[in-house]
Chains A and B, each alone.
Chain A
């Protein structure tokens, strides 16, 4: 039911783990089935230099987590914000319709991580 790309990212997920002293951390929970994704980003000069994830979820959730970390690396914050769950799913050669909601997890975790980064930045600037 999954594409070869999904299975590849599921079997060999890229960028698993935590980043020490991250510049942003985002957590997203999936209201549909109850899964959780945590995304860490390291930012330098407005550019995402590194991204890592931890996911509790199905094959599609793990594969989309892995893919989104690959996609954001090297992107500016503005570019990263434009990554939609559909784009992640497409990069994986598609997901079964019932699994599309899992890719929403990736988009939301990424946005949460960027929000966290922006908040930290504002706080720092105000200090």
Chain B
């Protein structure tokens, strides 16, 4: 049976070229980068090179890059680090209601610790209006955090505009760019950000490694205390193979971005049009144009997401869903809720995220297997067009 992996927003396979660069770090240059002898120096050099690559990829200086264990840690570090280092100035933080849980849960934690959090609303496409950010700022605001691209619906936020406003106000601005790297241009100066989170495994790098960009001069508290590593901001012996993998992966992701985005956009639009043309009562979630080149998120009315996901899995297609039934809290996706998608429509949401190895045949296959699945589940459903959903 064909295997079609369409959950690249969850994770990507590590590029063999990346693995090749990582391997010697496990067995040959395995030295601790803090040591003085040859293999230690080699490891240190490998980290320096990787740091340079990350810096170049996002238009930063090398000393502004801190390696972490991934996107979640980077978001935690950005928010907690700024919050606790600047609380004498004020305890107000602004974020959006469609952020990743790494940001939202950290905000919840900060709220428990005396910070006041403003969660900005979004429009029906999931966009945060930069003017809303301006209006929410008070003299107690110390940090604004808005993601660059949404992981569920793929909507791309106007970060540069928001950044400009935040900069004028003299407040720190963090963006979670985890889904954006390799998909759209990411430059910390164009975006006007002070902090930026990224994660290697979202762009064909290894899991367990990421980075946080911290603009020079940003007042931050360390998240992990210990040795002198990462300018004392994130102590602990470095994950050398992971960091080397991140460096290689981001280099590839940025150099191939244009070519890949073009191909992905073509395949994504083929999938979107194929589904909208062939299946009734479907809607596309997220912005029609301002969306990631690899993201297509639909709601199929009258059917539930998990049952679609399971049926697709049975024919070899891997996707994800924002249905309440697939979440461990049994609540519908907070992103779709914030976009005011009615709960029963959110229930039928399925996210397809394409990757560099996705082929046109893969898309054709999905377009062939999906309609009968929807038909079968709709025949089973008590809900119908024009029927009152509030039973």
Q: Contacts A27-B391, A29-B391, A57-B325: A16 and B307 contacting too (C-beta < 8 A)?
A: no
Q: How many residues of B contact A (CB 8 A)?
A: 25
Q: In the bound complex, how far is the Cα of B383 from the Cα of A36, in angstroms?
A: 8
From A27, A32, A56, A101, B304 is in contact (CB under 8 Å) with A56
A13-B380, A34-B343, A36-B383 known; A59-B307 Cβ under 8 A: yes
Instruction: Let me know if A37 is at the binding interface, CB within 8 A.
Output: yes
B306 near A34: Cβ-Cβ < 8 Å: no
Q: Given contacts A35-B325, A36-B391, is CB(A11)–CB(B307) below 8 Å?
A: no
Q: Given A29-B391, A58-B325: A16 and B380 within 8 A (CB)? A: yes
Residues of B within 8 A of A42 (CB): none
Alpha-carbon distance between A101 and B380 when the two chains are bound, in angstroms:
20
Is B222 engaged at the interface, CB distance under 8 Å to the other chain? no
Could you tell me the distance in whole angstroms from the C-beta of B21 to the nearest C-beta in chain A?
Answer: 36
In the complex, chain B residues 358-391 whose Cβ is within 8 Å of any chain A Cβ: 379-383, 391
* A10-B307, A34-B343 known; A58+B381 contact, CB < 8 A: no
User: Chain B residues with Cβ under 8 A from A29's Cβ?
Assistant: 391
In addition to A34-B332, A35-B347, 17 A-B residue pairs with Cβ atoms within 8 Å of each other are A16-B380, A29-B391, A32-B324, A32-B330, A33-B347, A34-B343, A35-B325, A54-B380, A54-B382, A55-B381, A56-B304, A56-B347, A59-B306, A61-B304, A62-B307, A62-B380, A98-B328
Distance, CA A25 to CA B257, complexed state (A): 57
Kindly report which residue of chain A lies nearest to residue B383, judged by CB atoms.
A56
- Known: A11-B314, A29-B391, A98-B328. Is A37-B306 also a contact (CB below 8 A)? no
* Known A10-B310, A29-B391; contact A56-B325, beta-carbon cutoff 8 A: no
Q: How far is the CB of B268 from chain A (nearest CB, A)?
A: 27
B344 touches A (CB below 8 Å): yes
- In angstroms, Cα B314 to Cα A102, docked, is 21
Contact of B326 among A16, A55, A58, A62 (CB under 8 A): A58
- With A and B bound together, what is the CA distance between A7 and B313 in angstroms? 12
Query: Which residues 276-306 of B have a CB within 8 angstroms of A?
Result: 302-304, 306
Q: Contact check: which of A32, A33, A56, A59 meets B381 at CB < 8 Å?
A: A56
A45-63 vs B, CB cutoff 8 Å, 1 = contact: the mask equals: 0000000001111110110
The answer, yes or no, to whether B12 is at the interface (CB within 8 Å) is no
Tell me if A54 and B381 are in contact (CB < 8 A): yes
Residues on the A chain within 8 Å of B307, using CB: 10, 57-59, 61-62
Most buried by B among A10, A32, A34, A55: A34
User: Is B148 positioned at the interface, with any CB of A under 8 Å from its CB?
Assistant: no
The CA-CA distance from A34 to B306 in the complex, in Å, is: 13
Q: For the side of the interface on A, what is the size category?
A: 20 to 34
Which chain B residues border A33 with CB–CB below 8 Å? 323-325, 330-332, 347
Residues in chain B near residue A17, CB distance under 8 A? 379
Q: Which residues on B sit within 8 Å (CB–CB) of A56?
A: 302-304, 347, 381-383
Query: Which residue of the partner chain, among A55, A58, A59, contacts B382 with CB atoms under 8 Å?
Result: A55
A58 near B304 (CB under 8 angstroms)? Answer: yes
Nearest first, the 8 closest Cβ-Cβ pairs linking A and B are A58-B325, A33-B324, A54-B382, A58-B306, A38-B382, A56-B381, A33-B330, A59-B310
CA distance A11 to B303 in the complex (A): 15
**Contacts A/B (CB < 8 Å), 29 sampled:** A11-B311, A13-B380, A16-B380, A17-B379, A29-B391, A33-B324, A33-B325, A33-B332, A33-B347, A34-B344, A34-B347, A35-B304, A35-B325, A36-B383, A54-B380, A54-B381, A54-B382, A55-B380, A55-B382, A56-B304, A56-B347, A56-B382, A57-B304, A58-B323, A58-B326, A59-B310, A61-B325, A62-B380, A101-B330
